[in-house]
Structure 1
Amino acid sequence: MIVETLDRGWQLTPLGDAVPADLAGRTVPATVPGSAHLDLLSAGLIADPYLDRVADDLAWAHRATWRYRTTFDATAPEAGERCDLVFEGLDTVAVITLNGQELGRTANMHRTYRFDVRDALRAGTNELVVKFRSALAHAEELAAELGRRDHVNSHPFNMVRKMACSFGWDWGPDLQTAGIWQPVHLQRWRAARLAEVRPLVTVDDDGTGRVAVHVDIERADRAEELVLVAAVAGQAADVTVAAGATAAVVELTVPDVPLWWPAGYGEQPLHDLAVALTTADGAPLGEYRRRIGFRTVTVDTTPDDIGTPFTFVVNGQRLFAKGANWIPDDHFLTRITRDRLARRIDQAVAANLNMLRVWGGGVYESEDFYELCDERGVLVWQDFLFACAGYPEEDPLWSEVAAEAREHVARLTPHPSLALWNGNNENLWGYADWGWAGELAGRTWGHRYYTELLPAIVAELDPTRHYSPGSPYSTQHAAESPHPNDPDHGTRHEWEVWNRVDYTRYRDHVPRFCSEFGFQGPPTWATLTRWVRDEPLTPTSPVFLAHQKAEDGNGKLERGLAPHLPLPADFADWHWATQLNQARAVAFGIEHFRSWWPRTAGAIVWQLNDCWPVTSWAAVDSDERVKPLWYALRRAFAPRLLTVQPRDGRWVLVAVNDRDDPWVGELALTRQTFAGVELAGARLALDVPARSVAHVELADGLLTPDDPRQEVLVATTMDARAVHLFAEDRDLAYEDDALTATATAVPGGYRVEVTARSFVRDVTLLADRLAPDAVVDDAMVTLLAGESAAFEVRTGARLDPAALTAAPVLRSVNDLCGSVVHHP
């Protein structure tokens, strides 16, 4: 096969009545893969869509038409030669013409299109045009034709197969991209080509690895006998493909294969799989190369005496899924590079995560994403692309959904990281609770996608993986199906916290698996002030609010803050307090969920990342800086965790051991004053078996404070520490000047050493306030009286050491609460 990538010479012209007069009909150079917004930005015709309120000013683009045009030289097709024009991704509603001849029309961003161009291709110069119409207009027309289905947006995103969050979300901009967002190729081939390759990997009980390589073949000449060859890990096999046959399977066996494990459970050995299609005399026709890993993966949903578990099992090992939800890492997808993905996934692993859930309102991610997860041992929970809406089941949408699902299920089979196919996000819950049934009046809403079409495709193309109809989803085993968000069955989303109740109410439920929960906080200071330029900058300044997309988001932030921390004095305090409260809330939920293992078998935080600069639930903001939440995740998801939790009306110490070796050591317990005077103490032996949880009963003397305003219970081992307070921060008698600090220049940055004269909670160094490139190795550090800690700051900038040792850079809970007047 000869492949020519058509990525040069493209030009973009915006057209239509919606386009501003100074842009209408103006032609600019276009980047392919790319998008119309980025081309206009590169040409200097629009400001950056992420800056201030520029996104609002670009609403005209929702209704625009975009013409992409290029020319390329080619030779005429030869006798017996196939010539295909392949578009790996078009965003979204397009007409494609080659030399004035229409090749086809598209209305699905999530699939590949292939056109036979033998009749249209000519010797010499060829003109290729892709004309995009408004995806919004297309969706509105289909809604009028098929009838409205409810959704969580001002636009009918559920009527077109386009990235749902392209139309805006409660953390994302409404920019509605358009363009050729994946590569374009001209492919010339003879006789036959590899149309699809699906390596299905299994492992026998005796450790023998097996790969069944399923291949679909497109033929130009059905009369020829072919040969299919596959090799992996030193083993090879081949089969003869009969003349006219369009499918084949070649099987490989690898004895004593080393197993691929998730992060924290073992290594991630990967093996090069090579597949080749040849003629009978050995002439090459096509090849396929991927890395695979040998492992088994399933989800245990066998009913028990509580209800229905949802426990991932890898290589026979049951595991607690420590995860985060994943959204597209940039609203402009073509700016997401492999290096950027590597940095993000490395941040996930460094925070002790072992799972990412690719959420259904985004896209099927790139090969880079899944390959990086393979390398780092990050399990992938993969949603099909349905989110928070009713979806018509009629054509043309049914056929488009079937085509995209078949393509991506087949594409992703090689990846050992892929652990689960999930039918949708919140649509089963939406039908049950959000009033859809009355509005639908009997119209379809997507149920058959999740219960018929998608499970059938997974069963046919990828039977090695588990399928779940949705998230949340309760069970398919019970005689009488429970509510989709029942905590005793399957997966649960916990959004009462954040939306309506305090984060301490996470303890109201013990879910079998919590696949969404989270709390908002603003981005880091450097990111915020780069993109939001209000003067003065306040929680209610207009541009700041334009970068807060959640309904009543600031109100929820402040109501979530009020039970725990005093009202901040200024914006710097507000920024720190809301970031701190986000970290506290999510860590509180994680510790609760982990304390109930194995009844609760997973916690997937909403969300790891951002797609633009915004106040959101993310732990890593859009400029790739980690928020205090990230440090809290790292602690709460640590392999060994101590946490004080209520059980049967009494506080107990829960020790969580998520390692393969027993946790054996001495446990030191103390109730002491903030000044460090011990009031009660104990030393106990700790012995927690591998991958398990133990409860330690606490004596009354440890749990009964003399003055709850200025005492703390501390449990410490060599591996972990738990700190338990007897009142909320706002009611505690913190010393506000409890830290002494020094900063010293060291190679590559600075070392900041702090010492506590009195109990200090959540010491954090917000060094990005001084230098945008500043990165700190730790945060959210709690110190007892007399203890010290050191922070390493990496930066290329020269900083004032004094600025590193005082607010608003050096922060803690104490400087928010210590100046508050406390009443007995």
Structure 2
Amino acid sequence: DRLGLLVWQDLMFACSIYELTDDFIEEIHWEIIDNIRRIRHHPSLALICGNNENEVAVADWNIPSLEYSKASYRRQYHELIPEWLTAIAPELIYWPSSPSSGHMFESPNSDCSGDMHYWGVWHNTEPFTYYRKYYPRFMSEFGLQSFPELKTVKTFALESDFNIFSKVMEHHQKNSTANSKILTYIGMMFRYPKDFSSLLYVSQLIQAEGIRYGVEHMRRHYGRCMGALYWQLNDCWPVASWSSIDYYHRYKALHYHSSKFYQPILLSLEEGKDEVMVHITNDCLSAVHGQIKWQLETFSGEVIQQGSLSVSVSAQQAVRVLKRTFQLTEEERCSTVFRAELWVEDDCICSNQVSFVPDKHLELKKPTITLKLNSQGARQTLELESDTFCKYVEIGFPKAEVRVSDNYFCLFAHEKKHVTFETKNSDLLSEIQVRSLVDSYL
């Protein structure tokens, strides 16, 4: 309520059809009544959803006793529960199932109406580019797994267990084919990591980049797609999972990425083999007026092309503001980066970057990154500068619990990046560990 975050509240029914005996109906009746009375006053409560994936189970999963299942489903979610909710909380919005088209058993997981779950990326190991095949009205579930960071793994595994197919690591992975899927996606995006710690690191990058790729696509189609909820936020134990925050409340790369791809004004880049389209999504209630500054540059910072243009995007609109085509050799595709920034007056309010080949084909150089720490009481400001372009710069504190203002970011050659954090230990500079993508394989 205080943060202004809206809550989609599921009732606790999922992936099943229930036998509606009198005792069962009595039990779920009072369970629902008690819990809705407990939460109904919260202004953050956006809707009550009857179940997760039960409608699509009846429609598409070839379950037995189909006619009984349809009748049971209809009675539970379209008769009993709406009646109970109307009696105690008529002001609440009720959505019978997720996903659902809003028309019982009619294409419940379509991208044409209602909400959609999409698991082709992940469960079917489809590439991230498949996100761009769909234009859901509301994407209420999609995701990718990753491992937690090494500090978290050390709470349940010995160094002798530092292999993702060891007994301990497999015990902390409850999706039986997930570890092989993670390796598959690493192979699609990155060079093979050189050690266990690097594998954990790049697993978080596939998760972060995959979800970013999907959310940016959906937000470029604001008006048709009005929301995207990734699965999942957090963990109930230290484990490999779909979460963006691990059991110890440590942010994964995805959580840092999400603060950028969910920001109210988004600049996103849609790349082709030799072209880039720049999009602005304005989720605010007022127009945004500013200037796009863009450039194509080498990893050493040499500018090949650059330009700027004035833009104006109305409230709650998504607009393609620029398309640029370049004549690049294969060598240049592997050694250049396109970047764009949106400036409003004297402030850069959002930015993005993209290359023309998968990250595994980029000819990244081993960087020299200099660090400077400035302390003002408990507030620390870390300045980073590199002699070459770095992707996914990670700032780690192996011996301390520190949350930085930004992480897993791009660092451009000879440009300073400032990251802040809170700690009373001003001697942390010697303990800070910094790595980037190239360090995962060289």
> What is the deviation of 1:783?
2.1
8 Å CA contact retained: 1:661, 1:690: yes
Q: Structure 1 pair 797/702, CA: closer, same or farther in 2 (3 Å)? A: farther
Aligned to 1:540: 165
Q: Structure 1 pair 524/712, CA: closer, same or farther in 2 (3 Å)? A: same
Asked if 1:495 is matched to 2:119, the reply is yes
Aligned to 1:580: 205
Which 10-residue stretch deviates more, 554-563 or 778-787? 778-787
Aligned to 2:316: 691
8 Å CA contact retained: 1:748, 1:794: yes
Give 1:514-553 correspondences, 5 Å limit: 514-533=139-158, 535-553=160-178
Gapped regions of structure 2 (runs ≥ 5)? 343-347
Instruction: Find the partner of 2:27 among 367, 383, 400.
Output: 400
Instruction: Find the partner of 2:388 among 758, 769, 772.
Output: 758
Asked if 1:654 is matched to 2:284, the reply is no
Aligned to 1:707: 332
Instruction: Find the partner of 2:399 among 770, 783, 797.
Output: 770
CA RMSD of aligned residues (A): 2.4
8 Å CA contact retained: 1:739, 1:760: no
Give 1:800-819 correspondences, 5 Å limit: 801-804=429-432, 809-816=433-440, 819=442
Q: Structure 1 pair 402/800, CA: closer, same or farther in 2 (3 Å)? A: closer
> What is the deviation of 1:695?
1.0
Give 1:650-799 correspondences, 5 Å limit: 651-701=276-326, 707-717=332-342, 718-743=348-373, 747-748=377-378, 751-767=381-397, 769-771=398-400, 773-795=401-423
Gapped regions of structure 1 (runs ≥ 5)? 1-373, 820-824
Q: Distance in 2 between matches of 1:614 and 1:645?
A: 33
Q: Structure 1 pair 482/792, CA: closer, same or farther in 2 (3 Å)? A: same
Aligned to 2:270: 645
8 Å CA contact retained: 1:738, 1:760: no
Q: Distance in 1 between matches of 2:238 and 2:61?
A: 30
Which structure shows the higher helix fraction? 2
Give 1:34-183 correspondences, 5 Å limit: none
Q: Distance in 1 between matches of 2:271 and 2:329?
A: 15
Secondary structure of the structure 2 residue equivalent to 1:664? strand
Instruction: Find the partner of 2:227 among 594, 597, 602.
Output: 602
Instruction: Find the partner of 2:46 among 413, 419, 427.
Output: 419
8 Å CA contact retained: 1:565, 1:816: no
8 Å CA contact retained: 2:18, 2:72: yes
Q: Distance in 1 between matches of 2:170 and 2:425?
A: 31
> What is the deviation of 1:660?
2.5
Secondary structure of the structure 2 residue equivalent to 1:530? coil
Q: Structure 1 pair 762/680, CA: closer, same or farther in 2 (3 Å)? A: same
- Cα deviations by residue, 1:532-564 (Å, 9 ceiling, x for unpaired): 335242212211211111121101111111110
Q: Distance in 1 between matches of 2:252 and 2:76?
A: 38
Identity of aligned residues (%): 30
Q: Structure 1 pair 529/706, CA: closer, same or farther in 2 (3 Å)? A: closer
Which structure shows the higher strand fraction? 1
Q: In structure 2, give the amino acid aligned to 1:462.
A: A
8 Å CA contact retained: 2:271, 2:354: no
> What is the deviation of 1:812?
1.5
Q: Distance in 1 between matches of 2:168 and 2:427?
A: 29
Q: Distance in 1 between matches of 2:41 and 2:380?
A: 45
Give 1:8-23 correspondences, 5 Å limit: none
Aligned to 1:381: 8
8 Å CA contact retained: 2:161, 2:167: no
Q: In structure 2, give the amino acid aligned to 1:459.
A: T
Q: In structure 1, give the amino acid aligned to 2:341.
A: T
Q: Distance in 1 between matches of 2:20 and 2:159?
A: 46
Instruction: Find the partner of 1:485 among 80, 90, 109.
Output: 109
Secondary structure of the structure 1 residue equivalent to 2:25? helix
> What is the deviation of 1:705?
7.9
> What is the deviation of 1:738?
4.8
8 Å CA contact retained: 1:715, 1:721: yes
Secondary structure of the structure 2 residue equivalent to 1:578? helix
Aligned to 1:314: none
Q: Distance in 2 between matches of 1:631 and 1:639?
A: 15
For the pair shown, which has the larger CA radius of gyration, 1 or 2? 1
8 Å CA contact retained: 1:763, 1:780: yes
Q: In structure 1, give the amino acid aligned to 2:399.
A: L
Q: Distance in 2 between matches of 1:673 and 1:658?
A: 33
8 Å CA contact retained: 1:680, 1:702: no
Instruction: Find the partner of 2:89 among 462, 465, 490.
Output: 462
8 Å CA contact retained: 2:58, 2:66: no
Give 1:209-248 correspondences, 5 Å limit: none
TM-score by length of 2: 0.91
Q: Structure 1 pair 650/713, CA: closer, same or farther in 2 (3 Å)? A: closer
Aligned to 1:176: none
Secondary structure of the structure 2 residue equivalent to 1:488? coil
8 Å CA contact retained: 2:369, 2:384: yes
Q: Structure 1 pair 441/456, CA: closer, same or farther in 2 (3 Å)? A: closer
Instruction: Find the partner of 1:390 among 11, 14, 17.
Output: 17
Q: Distance in 2 between matches of 1:751 and 1:395?
A: 63
Instruction: Find the partner of 1:505 among 130, 133, 137.
Output: 130
Aligned length: 434
Secondary structure of the structure 1 residue equivalent to 2:228? strand
Give 1:231-380 correspondences, 5 Å limit: 374-380=1-7
TM-score by length of 1: 0.50
